Copies of this chain bind each other. A is one copy, B any other.
Amino acid sequence: MKPVIVIHGGAGALTRQAMSPEKELRYLAALQDIICQGQRLLTAGASALDVVTEAVTMLEDCPLFNAGRGAVFTHQGTHELDASIMDGRTLEAGSVVGVQRIRHPIQAARKVMEHSAHIMFTAAGAEALAREQGLEMVEPDYFSTDERYQQLLAAQQGAGKVLLDHDAPLDPERKFGTVGAVALDAEGNLAAATSTGGMTNKQVGRVGDSPILGAGCYASNRTVAVSCTGTGETFMRTLAAYDVAAMMEYGGLSLEKAADRVVMEKITSLGGSGGLIAVDGQGNIALPFNSEGMYRGYGYADDKPVVAIYR
C-alpha cells in the first residue's frame, strides 16, 4: 500500500483537433504541478483530507478549470459555485451550494465539516459560516475570466443553450466541468473532494452532483474515495460515487470493475456522459470516462506523476 493522489479537471468532448498544442501543454503542466504538490504532502505525512483540500484549492485557483477562478457564468452572468468534501475515516462531510463570494469553496466545505453540526449549507448560510471561520472572501467578479464570458455569449447566441464547460468545444453540449481529487495517505485513510462552477448559461439555482454526497463525492475507509465529473443529473440519479462503494462492499466487485460498471453502463444507460476518479484502501486507482477526454492525473508517493487528457 503506497500513498497516492488522483485528480481530475473535468471530462467531455476534448479532442486533440479542438485544442492547440500550447493549450494542451498548459493543461498538462497545471495538472502535473498539482499532483507533484500532492505527492510532496503525502511523502511528508500529510493526511488524505489535507491533500485533497490542497489539490482542489489549487484547481480552484487555476483559471483553466471550471471551479473557483475561471468558473463558468450562469444565465444571469453570475457565478454559483458548489463544493463538497468527505473524510473516509469518519464519514464526516461538508458541502456548500451556490456560493458567490468565497474564494475557495472547497475550504468552505471543509469548514462546514469541521465547525458545524450540519453537512450542507446554501448560499448566504454557507458564506456566513465561511466568514466566521476567517476564509478569504472575494467580490463576485473575482471568478470571472474573459474566456468564460465569451462562452456565455456563445451559449446565449446559440438559442439559449446550456453550454457544458471548457473551451472551443466541438460539441458544446458534451463538455462538463468539475474538478476533484481523491487520496490515500500513509495511515490508510481515504478522502475525496469535488468543486465546480456548474454549467455555462445554467439557470440560477440549479444544483448538480458536485455538492451531493454519494453523487459527485464519496469516501469511506471501508471501500473507496470517489470524485465525479459529467452530466450531473445522471450522476445524481445513479448515486454514482456511492454506487462504486456499494458494488465493492455488497457485491464484492473490485474497484476497477465497480468504477467501470458505473461509468460505462449505469451512466450511459441513462444517456449520461462523464467520468470519475477513485482510489481504494490498497492504493488501487481507477480513472474511467466514457467521453472523448478527461483532464486527469495521479501520482504515488515518491514516484513519477502521470497526466493525460485524451483516451
Contact = CB atoms under 8 A, between A and B. Distances in A.
Interface of A: 91-93, 97-98, 116-126, 128-129, 162, 203-208, 212-215, 218, 232-233, 236-239, 242-243, 246-247, 249-251, 270
B205 A124 contact: yes
A120 B239 contact: no
Majority DSSP secondary structure for residues of A touching B = mixed
B207 A120 contact: yes
A297 B218 CA distance: 34
Nearest to A253: B250
Given A97-B97, A122-B97, A207-B121, A250 B242 contact: no
Contact of A214 (B93, B239, B250): B239
Given A213-B237, A251-B251, A207 B122 contact: yes
Closest 7 interchain pairs by CB? A125-B205, A246-B246, A250-B251, A250-B250, A120-B207, A214-B239, A121-B205
Contacts of A125: 203-206
Contacts of A117: 162, 233
A239 B246 CA distance: 10
Nearest to A233: B119
A120 B206 contact: yes
